[in-house]
Every structure is written in C-alpha cells, then in structure tokens.
Amino acid sequence: MDKRPGDETVVDVAPSAQSAFASYAAPIVDQAIENAHAVRDDASPEALHKLRVSLRRLRSLWWAFEPLLEKGENTRQRALYKYLATAAGKTRDWDILIELIARKDGAANAMTASLDQVRDNAFATSRETLSNADVKHLLREALTTTSTELNTAHERLPLRKFAERRVAASERSLKKRMKRARAAKRSNYTAFHNVRKAGKKLRYLLEFFAPVLSGGHKRTVKRLKQIQKRFGALNDVVASEVLLRDNAALLSGAGAVAGNADDALQWLKKERKRRMRAAAAVLRKM
C-alpha cells in the first residue's frame, strides 16, 4: 500500500493461484484444440507428437492445481487427457518404431511396407477416436468447470506461495524416483520410466510458474532436458520392442518380413541395453 498526498490509495494485490489458473490453462487448451484439428488433415508424425505434448502439459497443470480442486473431478479431467494422448500415442508408437528401423538399416527393407500399412491403419483408428471424442467440446468444458470451481472458492492462496509448494512437491517426487532407479537393477525399466515421467512433470511446472518463482531455474531445466533426452531415447526402444513383439503376427505372412522382424528384435534388445547404460550414467551425475 503506497499513500501519496492528494492521491487515492494504491493497493498492489498479488494474484491468487485460483484467479491465475485460467491464464495458464486457456492457451494450452487452445493449442491442444488446434493440434487436434491439425491431425484431421495432417497424418505426419509431427502433428501427432504436438497433440500428445499439449495434452501432457494439460495433465501436468491439472496435477499442479490438484490441492485446490475437488478430487473426483480432477481425477476425471486428468484421465480424459491421458485417454486422448493414448489415442494419439498408438500411432506415434508405430512412427517411432519405423524411424528406429530406418536408422538401423539405413534404408527401407522388406519390413518397411508392412510397418507403413499397419501404421496407416493405426492412424485411421486414432483419427476416428479423436474425432468421435469431440476434443474441442471436452477441453472447453474441462476449462470452464475447473475455472468456475476455483473462482468460486472462498479461500485464496497467493500464486507465488502456491507455485513454490507445488514445484517443491514435484522435486521431492523426482528425487525419490531417482533414488529408486539408482538402486534398481538394470533390467528394471519401470524405475527408469518413472524418473522420466517425474522429470517431465517438474519441467512443465517450472515452465508454467517461472515468472513468479523466486530464484533462477535454468540449470534445473537444463538437467531435466538431459533426463528427458536420455530416458526418452530409452523409452522409444523399449516401447518399439514391445510393439514389434506384440504384433509379430501382423508381420508373419512372408518369410523375408518375419526374418527382418526377428533381426529387428535382436537389434532393439541390444539397443535397449546400451540406452539403459546411458540413462544410468545420467542418474549417477545428478
């Protein structure tokens, strides 16, 4: 409060977390809707990737505001974002596998045409699922419902205090998962995967709340990007290995194709071990 002779009283009111929510959520909702529309006309891997990222960011934002929201409704909203991201992800997984196979061989092989066909079929299913879900309506409704709940709440929590609490909670979660992963066996991929998810969530929160957080977090974000890069590369191989093994029947029609699939599985297994070592090395440096 700053009083000056002859002037009216000027009150500097810090924003509350409840009132600030929509300013964080609305742009991401708009981006997700735009990305969902793009998928209808663009079958490229990049379009699907952008949609998945925007939905993951929404899920992390709703997690951040979880303490201020009715538990059941928040759980439903986050489940919605996961469902939509999974719909897009089923095709994205095939894209990653195709990219890895191309990197392995340096050129198309007898399996490429079969993989492309399966990928196209998966994309048709993803597109239909997203279209039937009416993404625009669902996301707009989620934004309105959550904003209304927050803005009608009697309690008001300063945004900076709230942001620092949620970032601290996310940091504790990441440290706990990193400790478990360091102690885990190399074959325990789940422990490494949990580190990746926790690191991604913390990075999103730091990006959301950066303007109101005290101190700089550039070094932390840089380390989190390292985690995402190494652990993301590991996840790509693990997911591709599972996808190829679970869909072996789709590639068993021709001997040459089946042989290439077996060869690819052996290569993916070796690549998984190599990338697991690389991920473990990052953990030791953290």
pLDDT digits 0-9 by tens, 257-279: 556 788 889 999 999 999 999 99
Q: How many other CB atoms sit within 10 Å of the CB of residue 70?
A: 12
- Percentage above 70 pLDDT, the chain: 90
Would you state the pLDDT for residue 37? 92
Indicate if the pLDDT at residue 15 is higher than 50: yes
* Confidence (pTM): 0.86
Highest mean pLDDT among 5-9, 151-155, 172-176: 172-176
Does one domain contain both 59 and 108?
Answer: yes
> Residues 39-65: what's their mean pLDDT?
92
Instruction: Say whether both 151 and 253 belong to one domain.
Output: no
* Domain assignment present for 9: no
Residue 176 shares a structural domain with residue 63:
no
Question: Is pLDDT above 90 for 24?
Answer: yes
Confidence check: pLDDT of 2 > 80? no
Answer whether residue 8 is part of any domain. Answer: no
- pLDDT band, very low/low/confident/very high, at 1 (cuts 50, 70, 90): very low
pLDDT score at 257 = 57
pLDDT band at 3 (very low <50, low <70, confident <90, very high): very low
User: Is 257 found in the same domain as 168?
Assistant: yes
The distance from CA 158 to its chain's CA centroid, rounded to whole angstroms, is 27
Inside any domain, residue 4: no
Between 132 and 255, residue with greater pLDDT: 132
Q: What is the three-class DSSP state of 2? A: strand
164 and 284 inside one domain? yes
Examine the domain organization and report whether 99 and 135 are in the same domain.
yes
- pLDDT, mean of residues 185-209: 92
What's the distance, Cα to Cα, between the start and end of the chain in Å?
A: 44
| CATH number of the domain bearing residue 70 | 1.20.120
The closest of 109, 120, 117, 122 to 257, measured between CA atoms, is 109
**pLDDT interval class at 13 (50, 70, 90):** low
Give the pLDDT of residue 187.
Answer: 78
Last residue of a domain, one of 101, 122, 157: 157
66-106 pLDDT per residue, tens? 999 998 888 999 999 999 999 888 898 999 999 998 887 76
Judge if 147 and 166 occupy the same domain: no
Sign of the dihedral through C-alpha 269, 88, 116, 249: positive
Give the per-residue pLDDT at 286: 76
Q: How many domains are contained in the chain?
A: 2
Answer yes or no: do 53 and 148 share one domain.
Answer: yes
Q: Is residue 137 part of a domain?
A: yes
User: Is the per-residue pLDDT at 228 higher than 50?
Assistant: yes
Whether residue 130 sits in one domain with residue 181: no
Residue 116 has pLDDT above 50, yes or no: yes
**Are residues 149 and 172 both part of a single domain?**
no
- Domain end marker among 136, 157, 178: 157
- Answer whether residue 232 is part of any domain: yes
Cβ proximity of 30 and 36 under 8 Å: no
Instruction: Tell whether 191 is covered by a domain.
Output: yes
Domain boundary pick from 117, 140, 157: 157
Q: Collapse the DSSP code of 205 into the 3-class scheme (helix H, G, I; strand E, B; otherwise coil) and give the result.
A: helix
**Does residue 126 belong to any structural domain of this protein?**
yes
CA separation for the pair 65, 126 (Å, rounded):
29
Query: Does the residue 243 lie in any domain?
Result: yes
Q: Which residue range forms the structural domain that includes residue 74? A: 16-157
For residues 76 and 123, membership in a common domain is answered with: yes
Same domain, 198 and 95: no
200, exposed or middle or buried, with CB in 10 Å at 0-12, 13-18, 19+?
Answer: buried
